Structure 1
Amino acid sequence: GTVSCPFSCPQPGLQFTVLSLELPVGESSPAPRAISWIWKCLAPAAGEEPQTMDHAEENEIPVATQRYYVERPIFSHPVLQERLHVKDKVSDSIGDKLKQAFTCTPKKIRNIIYMFLPITKWLPAYKFKEYVLGDLVSGISTGVLQLPQGLAFAMLAAVPPVFGLYSSFYPVIMYCFFGTSRHISIGPFAVISLMIGGVAVRLVPDDIVIPGGVNATNGTEARDALRVKVAMSVTLLSGIIQFCLGVCRFGFVAIYLTEPLVRGFTTAAAVHVFTSMLKYLFGVKTKRYSGIFSVVYSTVAVLQNVKNLNVCSLGVGLMVFGLLLGGKEFNERFKEKLPAPIPLEFFAVVMGTGISAGFNLQESYSVDVVGTLPLGLLPPANPDTSLFHLVYVDAIAIAIVGFSVTISMAKTLANKHGYQVDGNQELIALGICNSIGSLFQTFSISCSLSRSLVQEGTGGKTQLAGCLASLMILLVILATGFLFESLPQVCSVGLAVLSAIVIVNLKGMFMQFSDLPFFWRTSKIELTIWLTTFVSSLFLGPSYKVLGQLPDTDVYIDIDAFEEVKEIPGIKIFQINAPIYYANSDLYSNALKRKTGVNPALIMGARRKAMRKYAKEVGNANVANATVVKVRFMPQGETVHTVILDFTQVNFIDSVGVKTLAGIVKEYGDVELLFHSIHDAVLGSQVREAMAERETSAPTPQDDMEPNATPTTPEA
């Protein structure tokens, strides 16, 4: 056999290293005899007499031995410094560096084009005979998976399903030109869609006050239109952030997004997605929850309404769930033998559509359906930039999470296939996809893990496979209305089917719970990071209250606490039980709009749109009296005329909080704003500010107001 054994000599200045010795010994010789042969060969070189092996057997065959003798001095770092000479480093002068930086050569221009437009590098080198078949099969397989996922993830983003198809088309085409990864699939992703939906529902809740005096159907359409506007705004801003980070070479930020942090966050997001899909699977009506323990509240709300579940929706959803789960296990087990994974999601949509149309589930069993998909593409539209100050925190989070997911999958597939991806260029590519895509009514996109594995596993070689998948989506967008014009029910896919598709696609994220034993064995610190991120993302969030009156009393408490508590018509009382300072001032402003349902930016935008429409109708672009238009487009039902900010429990406010309140007063200029039960500390700061202003300006009637008087207008 061959024995490897290090050997050291005790004599100073000498070292021996035995790499291997081939020792022909008997079949029954144990390992210690091989070691004895090594010692017999090397002991003379060490100045020692070899010992005879008393246990040698007759069947052992002695062979010629080879002796190793190595002698060299022992070096230390000071000795090396004395014997060796440090190489002089000659650096160019600043002038030479500037000259080199601003010198324009054909090679430098070509490299810049290759860097900014990677398609110009790999497309001319495209090996048609080797790549075309793999890209063709991969594109078709990815396309049939992208269709149902686009519809389903639009539900998470709180926008109509057709916008999921738009988000599956435009960004994919643009990434083909600007992306450096050859295998990832760009488009809607569950976690990013959930984050978009959180912003949209927060700013445009179900019970928002929408100008227009419309019925329930038109009110839902108006609400969805506002949510699309919010999604476009946050998508544009996140795209701008990603593009600027890429231009500034901030691709290295992915280093600081450690794997435990990202995986803990995405696992918690998967739980959020799962709980948000339960109500569609069971066919029950519940409101969306946000804030602390929103996952628990959502789950409890579904369980409390189980008695009202739609048996038909649950049956269809569970049937599709079982089909997808079993089919994915089949694909995984036989992936080496299958030419391409079976497109189970596509078959589920076709089956759900057929069942919904054939048995008329919407009318017979009150099954919620997606509805008819509109025909054709929408013209470009400018996102509402006035919403940026409301969504910039969410846009930063979406930009970072989207990039981290994309670069991690891109690096994984690049290492597998032996090429490099550029993190800075990936930021630029995502920024272009999101910012330009927002002009065409798309919401934020990222790399889809499941579709990327399908695109790579079915033989995809380049992003031409992604382009082919997007062309299949374009075919659906352009042909759906024509094909199903006479059967509008056929293109109505049950929401239970889409919820089952979303839940099954979360399987990979739920498998990340297996990280816990691994981190327990390897690093307790990373385990703590994983658990902290998971728990904080899952349960924590800001908590605010809208107060109502306890009948026949002057007691005002949380309207969600007791059934007897009723709101005063036309008045919203908003309370925070914490200081307003730099850390939570933005959260306070956003929560005010979300909880009261009155968002001045959205209302003014809708009002301006209504004014333009009215001016067009009367044929006069200059409407002399805007009040007429304002009254014309006010809701027919209850309106909110007063918002009261309850500062009873506010004991501190800093300069950032003051600026936030000033911004709120400015935004709610058309709404009567009251400050109710102001705390002494806040009141004292207002009095001091008023006295300072009085010293620098002439007195006015407003300056003589008593300090304890309650202001009743925004100007007060």
Structure 2
Amino acid sequence: MAVEDEMKANVFDTANNSLSNHQREELPYIHKVGVPPKQSLFKEFKSRVKETFFADDPLRPFKDQTRARKFLLGLQTIFPILQWGRDYNFTKLKGDLIAGLTIASLCIPQDIGYAKLANLDPQYGLYSSFVPPLIYAFMGSSRDIAIGPVAVVSLLLGSMLQDEIDHEHHIEEYRRLAFTATFFAGITQAALGFLRLGFLIDFLSHAAIVGFMGGAAITIALQQLKGFLGIQKFTKKTDIVSVMRSVFSAAHHGWNWQTILIGAGFLVFLLFTKQLGKKKKSLFWVAAIAPLISVVLSTLIVYLTHAEKHGVQIVKNIKKGINPSSVRQIYFTGDYVAKGFKIGAVAGMIALTEATAIGRTFASMKDYELDGNKEMVALGAMNIVGSMTSCYVATGSFSRSAVNYMAGCHTAVSNIVMSCVVLLTLELITPLFKYTPNAILSAIIISAVIGLIDFEAAILIWKIDKFDFIACMGAFFGVIFASVEIGLLIAVAISFAKVLLQVTRPRIAILGRLPRTTVYRNIEQYPEATKIPGVLIVRVDSAIYFSNSNYVKDRITRWLIDEEEQLQAKGLPRIEFLIVDMSPVTDIDTSGIHAIEQLCRSLKKKDIQLILANPGPAVIDKLHASAITELIGEQHIFLTVGDAVFTCAPKVVDEF
């Protein structure tokens, strides 16, 4: 301690000799940068792993508890219904019952249409709104999310499966691959939750998701032109060029005016009710039951007029009964296992992204916490069980969740109510859908996906970040002009490119002193900030790694050369000190240390002293470990930029 105090005193005395009385009052003591205590490699690794994967400390509730209590808490962790179910009452049941019936009226017609998007028979859409919501109700932590098939995932799954197996000529193999993909989608989701790797889905940026969803919405709407126009032969591709070519080639003989009349009439009705629900929140239920009303009315019209005999395509028979077992239909061996895993992993990640975004949105609106890892495990479990009960990938639906929220749901019991209604539909009502025209299903899907096109979000992205807008448009046009998979790949690639660009080319700023303060800020942001004669102050706004260390060194060197040339041209004193503010530098690796060493040696040849200000604990620890502090000099590492400037140029600072 004596040596340390003496060192501090020496540093202070050096500065104090040339300080004015006013400065002595302002700077009574210059603190030395603290060095964190050394940790063993095991403790450091353990700390890093805990911070990365267990930042929320999931084991905290189990500490100092009896075995019975730990067992109960463990069950509540896996099945949150055991926790909130204790406070369940009749008031909540009434709200959940109304919400469940409302979303059931919306989901039944949607499920039949979404199954067609996935190139599956209509009953598989209903199956996927029966078993998965039941599993989620017991394991999920969101109170508002409504579970079932969704348009984007259905289209993605259908297009990727179609690339492997033709659904028209190999129906059985296609269906088996769909169940296999659903199984691996669940495995992927559950694994991310168990391993606490949910941060991986954050690599799909908000901008990329906005573009992807918008492109997928247009692609889905274009795919519905087959049913909407009554076209018999339609392209299996999803890009806009192929679809429009198929539409116009069938214009002379393939369109059916009765089908168009039914589809257009009910589409106007659906859009009107949706707009009515938006303007008057109390009438949200009108938009919610409009699809079911449309199905009932259109089915009656077709049945009474026998429009199916005049070219109007109908659903025909929907298989009656609850979900049959599909355990033996999943591919666990053979060539299709790898294909199922690839398709399932992609579909599972997209489904997870959509469900997470929906869950977080409604959780923030009702001000409660949502455990992301529990959500992933719940979604994974329901898809694993679903794959064994003839379901395809299910996730949270935004339209149904919004209706669920506005209908006054209190808990996930609304999903149980919805499942019960779907059960009754499968057991009793499916024969009544025989005369339902495909046009009405197309109209329902078109009206549902229009809401996925978020123009306001795209405009806001353009205003905030042009690079984000490029990612948004890249995903959008990739989906429209290529395929859903290509659009997704472009979205991920551009998002990664943005991260890499920010890492390899970090922001570096020149700092100046704000008048009548000891605060130093970016001179571009604060034009009134003035430079200190003889001192160049720069700030590195990033960790210094192998990917950017040379850029940081070269950028600082170029600024130094430019500054010296300007000073020389004006006949002003040369630069004697280069101060690097390292406050934002969270970490540094060996390449970064080497870059600082090279910079220090280069500056010494020019008789310029390198000074570091406020290096963080990880940085100062590595600086000491590399012995670079001896090259720079312990006395040239300061707690703040102000301390460094006061010590280096006290007379100049006094004049300011």
Report whether the alignment pairs 1:501 with 2:444: yes
**Which residue in the other structure is 1:516 paired with?**
458
Superposition map of 1:103-252 within 5 A: 105-126=67-88, 128-205=89-166, 208=169, 223-252=170-199
**Which residue in the other structure is 2:208 paired with?**
261
Distance 1:188 1:424 in 2: 21
Report whether the alignment pairs 1:297 with 2:242: yes
Assess if the C-alpha contact under 8 Å between 1:167 and 1:445 holds in 2.
Answer: yes
Alignment partner of 2:119: what SS? coil
Assess if the C-alpha contact under 8 Å between 1:141 and 1:341 holds in 2.
Answer: no
Report whether the alignment pairs 1:401 with 2:343: no
CA offset digits 1:297-332 (Å, max 9, x no partner): 112111221122011111100011000001111111
CA offset digits 1:102-142 (Å, max 9, x no partner): 9984444333222211111111122x143122111111111
Distance 2:285 2:311 in 1: 40
Partner amino acid, structure 2, of 1:319 = G
Superposition map of 1:567-646 within 5 A: none
Distance 2:21 2:448 in 1: 66
Assess if the C-alpha contact under 8 Å between 2:105 and 2:288 holds in 1.
Answer: no
Distance 1:527 1:253 in 2: 21
Of 205, 220, 229 in structure 2, the residue corresponding to residue 282 of structure 1 is 229
Shift of 1:338: 6.0
In 2 relative to 1, CA 398–131 (structure 1 residues): closer, same or farther, beyond 3 Å? same
**Which residue in the other structure is 1:492 paired with?**
435
- Structure 2: runs of 5 or more not aligned: 1-19, 51-58, 486-492, 494-656
In 2 relative to 1, CA 274–13 (structure 1 residues): closer, same or farther, beyond 3 Å? farther
In 2 relative to 1, CA 201–254 (structure 1 residues): closer, same or farther, beyond 3 Å? closer
Partner amino acid, structure 2, of 1:306 = A
Assess if the C-alpha contact under 8 Å between 2:226 and 2:234 holds in 1.
Answer: no
Report whether the alignment pairs 1:538 with 2:499: no
Shift of 1:156: 0.3
Distance 2:285 2:229 in 1: 36
Of 516, 526, 529 in structure 1, the residue corresponding to residue 468 of structure 2 is 526
Distance 2:347 2:284 in 1: 36
Alignment partner of 2:370: what SS? coil
Distance 2:346 2:236 in 1: 20
Alignment partner of 1:288: what SS? coil
CA offset digits 1:667-698 (Å, max 9, x no partner): xxxxxxxxxxxxxxxxxxxxxxxxxxxxxxxx
Q: Name the TM-score, length of structure 2 as normaliser.
A: 0.63
Structure in which a larger fraction of residues adopt helix: 2
Shift of 1:204: 2.8
**Which residue in the other structure is 1:357 paired with?**
303
Alignment partner of 2:408: what SS? coil
Distance 2:205 2:109 in 1: 32
Distance 1:138 1:271 in 2: 29
Shift of 1:446: 1.2
Shift of 1:163: 0.7
**Which residue in the other structure is 1:313 paired with?**
259
CA offset digits 1:618-673 (Å, max 9, x no partner): xxxxxxxxxxxxxxxxxxxxxxxxxxxxxxxxxxxxxxxxxxxxxxxxxxxxxxxx
Distance 1:87 1:397 in 2: 44
Assess if the C-alpha contact under 8 Å between 2:156 and 2:484 holds in 1.
Answer: no
In 2 relative to 1, CA 12–139 (structure 1 residues): closer, same or farther, beyond 3 Å? farther
Shift of 1:180: 0.9
Distance 1:542 1:251 in 2: 23
Of 421, 426, 442 in structure 1, the residue corresponding to residue 391 of structure 2 is 442
Shift of 1:436: 0.9
Alignment partner of 1:353: what SS? helix
Distance 1:299 1:249 in 2: 44
CA offset digits 1:6-61 (Å, max 9, x no partner): xxxxx9979xxxxxxxxxxxxxxxxxxxxxxxxxxxxxxxxxxxxxxxxxxxxxxx
**Which residue in the other structure is 1:643 paired with?**
none
**Alignment RMSD (CA, Å):** 3.4
Alignment partner of 2:476: what SS? helix
Assess if the C-alpha contact under 8 Å between 1:340 and 1:458 holds in 2.
Answer: no
Shift of 1:200: 3.1
Partner amino acid, structure 2, of 1:505 = A
**Which residue in the other structure is 1:343 paired with?**
289
Superposition map of 1:643-682 within 5 A: none
Assess if the C-alpha contact under 8 Å between 1:154 and 1:160 holds in 2.
Answer: yes
Alignment partner of 1:403: what SS? helix
Partner amino acid, structure 2, of 1:527 = F
Assess if the C-alpha contact under 8 Å between 2:117 and 2:151 holds in 1.
Answer: yes
In 2 relative to 1, CA 136–541 (structure 1 residues): closer, same or farther, beyond 3 Å? closer
Distance 1:114 1:75 in 2: 57
- Structure 1: runs of 5 or more not aligned: 1-10, 15-71, 209-222, 544-582, 584-716
CA offset digits 1:59-114 (Å, max 9, x no partner): xxxxxxxxxxxxx96579x74558x99899999989x9999999984444333222
Assess if the C-alpha contact under 8 Å between 1:137 and 1:340 holds in 2.
Answer: no
Shift of 1:206: 5.7
**Which residue in the other structure is 1:367 paired with?**
312
Distance 1:267 1:388 in 2: 31
Distance 1:102 1:336 in 2: 47
Distance 2:140 2:313 in 1: 38
Distance 1:542 1:534 in 2: 9
In 2 relative to 1, CA 176–378 (structure 1 residues): closer, same or farther, beyond 3 Å? closer
Partner amino acid, structure 2, of 1:431 = G
In 2 relative to 1, CA 389–470 (structure 1 residues): closer, same or farther, beyond 3 Å? same
Alignment partner of 1:123: what SS? helix
Q: Which has the higher contact order (CA 8 A, sep 6+)?
A: 2
Aligned residues: 449
Assess if the C-alpha contact under 8 Å between 2:284 and 2:403 holds in 1.
Answer: no
Shift of 1:197: 1.1
Shift of 1:265: 1.2
Report whether the alignment pairs 1:384 with 2:337: no
Shift of 1:167: 0.5
Moved over 4 A (4+): 11-14, 72-76, 84-94, 96-104, 337-342
Alignment partner of 2:212: what SS? helix
Of 370, 374, 378 in structure 2, the residue corresponding to residue 421 of structure 1 is 370
CA offset digits 1:585-619 (Å, max 9, x no partner): xxxxxxxxxxxxxxxxxxxxxxxxxxxxxxxxxxx
**Which residue in the other structure is 2:589 paired with?**
none
In 2 relative to 1, CA 340–355 (structure 1 residues): closer, same or farther, beyond 3 Å? closer
Identity %: 24
Distance 1:524 1:145 in 2: 38
In 2 relative to 1, CA 87–129 (structure 1 residues): closer, same or farther, beyond 3 Å? farther
In 2 relative to 1, CA 225–351 (structure 1 residues): closer, same or farther, beyond 3 Å? farther
Shift of 1:429: 1.0
Alignment partner of 2:389: what SS? coil
Partner amino acid, structure 2, of 1:240 = I
In 2 relative to 1, CA 467–73 (structure 1 residues): closer, same or farther, beyond 3 Å? farther
Alignment partner of 1:186: what SS? strand
